[in-house]
Amino acid sequence: MPTTVRKRVIRIGPDDNGRAMSLADFDRAIAAPGYLYELGEGAVEVSEIPNLEHGRVVEFLRDLVAIYKHENPGIIDYSSGGSDSKVLIELNESERHPDLSIYCKAPPQLKQPWDLWVPEIVVEVVSESSRKRDYDVKPAEYLAFGVKEYWIIDPVKKILVVNIRVGGRFDVKVLKASQKHQTHILPGLKIDVRKLLRAATGAK
């Protein structure tokens, strides 16, 4: 009779920030609630749940994309963020959960397509705990994964930083509140930076 080998249960919590872990183990780890978890270059990264201002900016952009998808069928296949999607970069043992991911192509026919399904656009809203990762670490990871545009929304600096793939690198465009961003990936969609930043206060 064959012997069944049971995998050990892996649990992670706030005290595990910086803990070395493989991508395979992290992907099946049981996480203590109340925190956000990512894996960066083989180390667990634990963050507190972002504040309401952060959430309002994400909500504003998510609603804008949802309206665009409804009015322009056939361009966006799926958009989501947080725990509903993930970016798996096996080369450097990283698992990321962008605030918003926009997929234009249909997914691979797999139950868990995340290591093969590449979003055209990923978005991060900067918080103080994520600032270094969002600016210094994630651009290289998202570029390596094949992302075409990486947007960094910075409510403190009041800018939108757009990383646009050009060959094997990102060109960086910094937009101030008075400017708008248009992307060829989503024809006709205009991102008004002022409205995007004002969303943090709940203003329409």
Same-domain check for residues 40 and 127:
no
Residue 169 domain-assigned (yes or no) = yes
Same-domain check for residues 28 and 59:
no
Which segments within 21-154 are labelled E, that is strand? Answer: 30-31, 35-40, 43-48, 78-80, 87-89, 94-96, 100-103, 121-125, 149-154
Same-domain check for residues 159 and 72:
yes
Same-domain check for residues 92 and 33:
no
pLDDT digit string (tens) for 78-92?
Answer: 999 888 889 998 888
Same-domain check for residues 189 and 129:
yes
CATH number at residue 88: 3.90.1570.10
Same-domain check for residues 149 and 165:
yes
Indicate the pTM of the whole model. 0.89
Same-domain check for residues 139 and 80:
yes
H-helix or E-strand containing 58? helix 52-71
DSSP for 110-145? SSS-TTT---SEEEEE--TTTHHIIIIIHHHHHHHH
Counted domains in the chain = 2
CA distance 204 to 202: 7
pLDDT digit string (tens) for 37-77?
Answer: 999 999 999 988 888 999 999 999 999 999 999 999 999 99
- Residue-number span of the structural domain to which 135 is assigned: 51-201
Among 119, 123, 124, 125, which Cα is nearest to 76's?
A: 119
pLDDT band at 136 (very low <50, low <70, confident <90, very high): very high
Residue 88 domain-assigned (yes or no) = yes
Report the greatest alpha carbon distance in the chain. Answer: 70
